Amino acid sequence: MFPKNTQDTGHDTKAPDLTDPSSRIWGPYLELAEKYDKDLVESWRDDMESLLIFAALFSASVTAFVIESYQALQEDVGQATISILLQISQQLANGTTRSPTAIRPAFRQDSGDITVNVLWFLSLAFSLACALAAVMVRQWAHRYLRVPRRLSSVPDRARMRQYCDLFENLEWWKMDLVVETIPILLHISLILFMIGLLLFVHLVNYQVALCLLCFSIVGGLGYMFLTVIP
C-alpha cells in the first residue's frame, strides 16, 4: 500500500526548519489534514462495512444454490444402481446374459446445468473477491491513520504526512477508484446469480421462470430509478 518508507522521521533537504517561526503553520495544517483524512477514512469504512455484510449474506445464499446445482454435474449413484438392478431383472426374465454396463446408457451432463453452474460459481467468486477487497481497504485505511499517530510531535506528524507521501500514495494507488470498483463487482456477482437462477428455474418450470423474470425486471428498474434520483 505504501511503497515508500513511512518510518523515516529524520530531517531531509525538503523538510522545513522547525526552529523557524513559519513552522507554526504545521499545527493548523495538521488539524485540517487529520480532519480530512478522518472523514475520508470513515466514509470508506462505512461503505466497506455495508459491503462486507451484504457480500457475506449473499455468498452464503449462493453457496446454498451451488451445493444443490453442482450435483447435476455428477452421475446419481443411487439412480444408476436402480437402473442396473432393473436391467438385471429384465435380463433374467428374458434369459439373456449381457453385461449391465453394456446396455446402461452413459452419463451425459446437460448443457443447461453446466451453464447454471458456471454462472453461479463465477457469482460466488466475484462475491468472495469483493469481501476480500473490502477487508483490505479497511486495513489500508486503518494503517493510513495509524502511521502519523506514532509520532507525538505535531510538526513531525505533519512532516510524516506531507513529506513521506502518505496522501500521495493513496492517489498513486487510485484508492478512490478501488473503493468505487468493489460495489461494481458485487453488482456483477448479483447479475450473474440472477441469470443463473432464471435459467435454473426455466429448466424446471417455464411459468415460474417467467414470473421470476418479470419480478427481476421490475426490481432492476426500481433499483436503477432509486440510484439515479439522488
| Overall pTM > 0.85 | no
For the chain, how long is the longest CA-to-CA vector? 110
Rounded to whole angstroms, the Cα distance separating 162 from 77 reads 67
How would you write 92-121 as a 3-class SS string?
HHHCCCCCHHHHCCCCCCCHHHHHHHHHHH
Please report, rounded to a whole number, the percentage of residues in the chain having pLDDT higher than 90. Answer: 27
| Per-residue confidence band for 128, with pLDDT thresholds at 50, 70 and 90 | very high
177-204 pLDDT, tens digit each: 888 899 999 999 999 999 999 999 998 8
Q: Is the pLDDT of residue 225 over 70?
A: yes
64-79 pLDDT, tens digit each: 999 988 887 776 656 5
Rounded to whole angstroms, the Cα distance separating 14 from 159 reads 10
3-state class (DSSP) for residue 164 = coil
According to DSSP, residue 173 is labeled: T
150-179 pLDDT, tens digit each: 555 555 565 555 545 556 666 666 777 888
What integer best gives the mean pLDDT of the chain?
75
Q: Cβ distance 200 to 72 under 8 Å?
A: no
| Domain boundaries of the chain, sorted by first residue | 25-72+111-228
